[in-house]
C-alpha cells in the first residue's frame, strides 16, 4: 500500500532575466521607445526617430524579422525547471524581460499570485555592470516594493568565473576550432562583449575587469599562449559619447596587419542568439573580415542547450540559495 503523496506549493523560485527584443518588426517602435526611456540620460528619452526605427527594422529583417531571444529564454526556463525538479528540488523558474514583454514587473505579479516566499534573480549576462545588470535588479526590487517587500530576494551579481560556465564555454571554443578550421592553420582567438560608455570606468565599474578575468580563465583552460588571443568590444551605440574600445572592427584590422588569416570569435558577454550575435557578428563582422581577407568563425551560443542548463544549475548552487526538497511518497 502506497503512502500519501504530499502536494506542496512552490515557495522557492528562480527568475531568469534577459534584455528583450521585438518578436516582429511591428513591435520595434515600442521596443525602441522603452529602451530610450530607460537610458534617457544618454538618449534624451522621447520617441525614437524615423531613422532609428528604419535602421533597426533593416537589421531585424536581415536576421529573419524577429529576435529569437524570447523563445530561447522561454524554452530555457522550462528546461531548467525540469532539470532542477529532476534533481529533487521544488523550484519554479520564471522568466522576464527588461525591454519587452513579459516585463520583469509583470512577471512579478505571477510570483506574488503563486505565493512564492524566496526568489533568486539571475540575469542572463555573466558580467556585472551598473549600466546593465543593476537595472534588472532594480526592476525586481521595485516590483517587490509595490507588494510591501513580501518576497525575500537573492540577487546574483555576476557568474563570470563560474567553473561550469568556463568549462562549457571552453568546450564550445575547442569544438569550433576542431570543426571550422584546418588543424594546420594558425587561429587567433577573439573574445568579445558588448561595449558600454567609457564613463563607467570613472564609477569604478567592475565590468572591464570581470571581462578580463573571464578571458584569462578561458585562455588558461585552453592552454593559449600570449599573442594567440585577445579581446575587443562590439555593438557600441551610435550615440555621441565615447564607448569602451578597442572595437572588434579595429581589432580585425590590427590582426590583418599582423598577418593573421583565421579568427575564432567567442562572444563571452552573450549567452543567447540576439541581434548582437546574428547581425553584428554573423553579418557585419563577417563581411568586414571577408573584406580584409580573413576567415572568421563564431562559436555557437549557449541558447537553451543542456550544457547551459548545467551552467545555470551551478550558478544557483553557488548562490547559496536554499531550495526546499520535494516531499517524496513513501511505500
> Residues annotated as binding site for Fe(2+)?
194, 276
Contact 237, 273 (CB under 8 A): no
**Which three cell numbers, joined as nine digits, stand for 240?**
555621441
Q: Specify the residue for cell string 594567440.
A: 228
Please give the annotated binding residues, written as ranges: 194, 276
Phi, psi values for residue 233, rounded to 5°: -95, 150
Residue of 100, 293, 106, 263 lying closest to 192 (CA atoms):
263
Instruction: State the Cα–Cα distance between residues 288 and 286, nearest whole angstrom.
Output: 5
Amino acid at each position: 500500500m502506497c503512502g500519501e503523496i504530499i502536494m506542496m506549493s512552490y515557495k522557492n523560485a528562480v527568475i531568469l532575466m534577459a534584455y528583450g527584443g521585438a518578436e516582429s518588426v511591428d513591435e520595434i517602435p515600442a521596443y525602441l521607445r522603452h529602451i530610450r526611456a530607460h537610458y534617457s540620460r544618454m538618449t534624451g528619452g522621447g520617441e525614437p526617430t524615423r531613422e532609428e526605427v528604419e535602421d533597426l527594422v533593416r537589421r531585424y529583417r536581415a536576421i529573419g524579422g524577429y529576435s529569437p531571444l524570447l523563445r530561447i529564454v522561454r524554452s530555457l526556463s522550462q528546461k531548467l525547471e525540469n532539470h532542477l525538479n529532476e534533481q529533487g528540488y521544488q523550484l519554479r523558474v520564471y522568466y522576464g524581460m527588461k525591454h519587452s514583454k513579459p516585463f520583469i514587473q509583470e512577471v512579478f505579479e505571477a510570483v506574488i499570485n503563486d505565493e512564492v516566499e524566496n526568489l533568486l534573480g539571475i540575469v542572463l549576462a555573466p558580467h556585472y555592470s551598473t549600466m546593465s545588470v543593476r537595472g534588472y535588479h532594480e526592476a525586481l526590487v521595485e516590483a517587490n516594493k509595490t507588494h510591501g517587500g513580501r518576497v525575500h530576494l537573492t540577487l546574483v551579481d555576476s557568474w563570470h568565473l563560474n567553473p561550469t560556465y568556463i568549462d562549457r564555454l571552453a568546450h564550445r571554443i575547442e569544438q569550433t576550432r576542431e570543426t571550422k578550421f584546418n588543424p594546420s592553420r594558425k587561429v587567433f582567438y577573439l573574445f568579445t562583449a558588448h561595449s558600454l560608455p567609457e564613463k563607467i570606468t570613472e564609477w569604478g565599474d567592475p565590468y572591464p575587469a570581470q571581462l578580463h578575468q573571464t578571458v584569462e580563465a578561458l585562455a588558461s583552460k585552453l592552454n593559449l599562449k600570449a599573442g594567440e588571443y585577445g579581446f575587443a568590444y562590439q555593438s557600441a551605440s551610435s550615440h555621441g559619447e565615447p564607448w569602451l574600445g578597442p572595437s572588434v572592427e579595429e581589432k580585425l584590422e590590427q590582426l590583418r596587419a599582423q598577418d593573421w588569416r583565421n579568427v575564432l570569435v567567442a562572444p563571452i558577454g552573450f549567452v543567447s542568439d540576439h541581434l548582437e550575435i546574428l547581425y553584428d557578428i554573423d553579418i557585419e563582422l563577417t563581411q568586414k573580415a571577408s573584406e580584409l581577407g580573413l576567415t572568421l568563425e563564431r562559436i555557437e551560443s549557449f541558447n537553451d542547450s543542456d550544457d547551459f542548463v548545467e551552467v545555470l544549475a551551478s550558478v544557483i548552487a553557488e548562490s547559496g540559495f536554499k531550495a526546499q526538497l520535494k516531499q517524496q511518497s513513501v511505500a
